[in-house]
A and B are shown apart, each in its own frame.
Chain A
């Protein structure tokens, strides 16, 4: 049984030294959500994502994964939680000296006792799921931007994470590839039941596949709205409305 609220943020403040990036964040991600963190440039979306994946400790507040305080549990528990998260970075962050197959096999070899044959089979399957069947022997440098994104998604899914955190999946992709990636995220959620947290600017993605959201404001440095983004188009906050309608409403 999966927990009803795999991720809960309570009174979270993140800062670089004296400079507060976001403060007093409170939101909950439900199981099976495609949750999007929305906000303009410089609003701290990626910094919040870094805090959620264990790269940027918060100044105040808690990040709860299934009720466990991610930043205050002991080291072993912290690492165990991290293994249940899959992270796809904005630039792909594929290891350039490894082939795609090696990129995917590394976490499997590190954290499971599976036989090499089964690891190879999982790698082939994951690559096929993201539309990269037969690309196992390619190095990241030999791939286009869209392929790198998909390969990065395959690596993020390697260990079948409970929560997949994705930073700007469609950035730099053409509309067709962006839509393909959105569909892929939807299908993965349907088939594996994975909870997905996205950071994106892309309105088609936000309004097309996401069912829950938080809106971060760069000016006030805190969240100004949350909930289903399709409903947020009619939000009482003019900033949210303007953002989601590109200023046309």
Chain B
């Protein structure tokens, strides 16, 4: 704080001394609150047949900026095999330089020093994806074994944990699911109205919205919402437990973290996402009804009758199966990435991001497979 009182600027002078010697004289303030010079400006003078360097100092104050200047200058002299006499430097500078020079230097490079080519990095990323495959299958296998242990009564579910996860994944997601589903229903109604008006069949907006929401969009949107909301939360929570060694503590006690941590989360989403899908479909249909009756002049009962006629049980079954599958893959992705998390704060963020990406990717793949599957079955 007191250093700011003196604003005198740094000064640097060089002069040749007897024979091939060079004396560097420092005066004024050499502190970091000024733009200090870089020692390489002396390189030309040092190259001019100099074999000995001495110092002369009359400093009002100095700090690490001066120390860094001297340190760099010493390195330049070492490169040029110039003998340095440090007597002219302040006592504190000599002490600190001695301390820094006494420390052994680490020879291995850290991972921060990465100069691999783009091609190398792309190749490494691809290899990492292929290596991830067996790990994903292994984790799936562990979950299946855990479910079989639950079914045969070899493990006991902690019901408190399960209900807590159910509440987190279900009722607390209702608001966001309502908003998104309402807006999607609205978009479907407008999209249908525009196209169907051309053939005078606007009443079929009800069919489009009802079948679209119940079979596909309700489950898909719920899956995506849950991937972003709950899947990432699973990864962050399990990742933080990994960082705090809580998962290691389970393992050392012989308790399977899959049984204890993953199973309740899997069960919660398998139970909740189909229910949220039904709810999302209902809200979407309601949005279609609202738009059709108020904007496009379709009668309330007319729309209702058309919706009831369009839907049959198979549509609900398709939507519920999809919802269950999406819930499973989101829970699986969140738990997988959480359990794979590294042991630092950055890794937790990466795990949460990766959980969402993996979840949405798996939802998209399973949506495609299920659509083809149900088409082939004629459902």
Q: Which residues of A are interface residues toward B (Cβ below 8 A)? A: 1-3, 6, 65-66, 68, 80-81, 84, 96-97, 99-102, 108, 112-115, 117-118, 121-122, 124-126, 128-142, 157, 159-160, 162, 187, 190-193
Contact = CB atoms under 8 A, between A and B. Distances in A.
12 contacts: A1-B2, A2-B2, A65-B1, A66-B1, A96-B345, A97-B346, A115-B38, A117-B72, A122-B64, A133-B106, A139-B111, A191-B92
A190 B36 contact: no
Across the A-B interface, give the 7 residue pairs with the lowest CB-CB distance, nearest first. Answer: A138-B110, A134-B106, A99-B112, A128-B100, A137-B110, A137-B113, A121-B68
Interface stretch (B27-35, B127-135, B254-262, B269-277): B27-35
A118 B68 contact: yes
A160 B32 contact: yes
Contacts of B71: 121, 124-125
Contacts of A193: 92
A187 B347 CA distance: 36
Nearest to B67: A125
B99 interface: yes
Contact of A139 (B36, B67, B104, B112): B112
Given A118-B68, A139-B111, 18 more contacts: A2-B2, A6-B1, A100-B112, A101-B112, A122-B64, A122-B65, A132-B103, A132-B106, A133-B103, A133-B104, A137-B110, A137-B113, A139-B110, A139-B344, A141-B342, A160-B32, A190-B95, A191-B96
Contacts of B343: 141
Contacts of A125: 64, 67-68, 71, 96, 100
B63 A160 contact: yes
Give the bracket for the number of chain B residues in contact with chain A: 35 or more
Contacts of A190: 95
A133 B1 CA distance: 29
A68 B309 CA distance: 79
B332 to A, nearest CB: 27
Nearest to A131: B103
A135 B342 CA distance: 21
Given A129-B103, A132-B106, A96 B344 contact: yes
Interface of B: 1-3, 5, 32-36, 38, 40, 63-65, 67-69, 71-72, 92, 95-96, 99-101, 103-107, 109-113, 342-347
B36 A114 contact: yes
Contacts of B101: 128
Nearest to B91: A191
A187 B346 CA distance: 34
B92 A142 contact: no
B346 A114 contact: no
Contacts of A138: 106, 110-112
A140 B113 CA distance: 14
A113 B34 contact: yes
B65 A114 contact: yes
Nearest to B6: A1
A80 B112 CA distance: 32
A204 B50 CA distance: 50
A96 B68 contact: no
Contact of A135 (B40, B69, B92, B110): B110
Nearest to B95: A191
A137 B109 contact: yes
Contacts of A6: 1
* Most chain A CB inside 10 Å of its own CB: which residue of B1, B5, B32, B35: B1
A134 B107 CA distance: 7
A60 to B, nearest CB: 24
Contact of B1 (A81, A99, A134, A137): A81
A159 B3 CA distance: 13
B242 to A, nearest CB: 12
A83 B32 CA distance: 13
B225 to A, nearest CB: 28
Q: Which of B34, B36, B96 has the most CB of A within 10 A?
A: B96
B38 A3 contact: no
A76 to B, nearest CB: 13
B103 A128 contact: yes
Contacts of A101: 112
B341 to A, nearest CB: 12
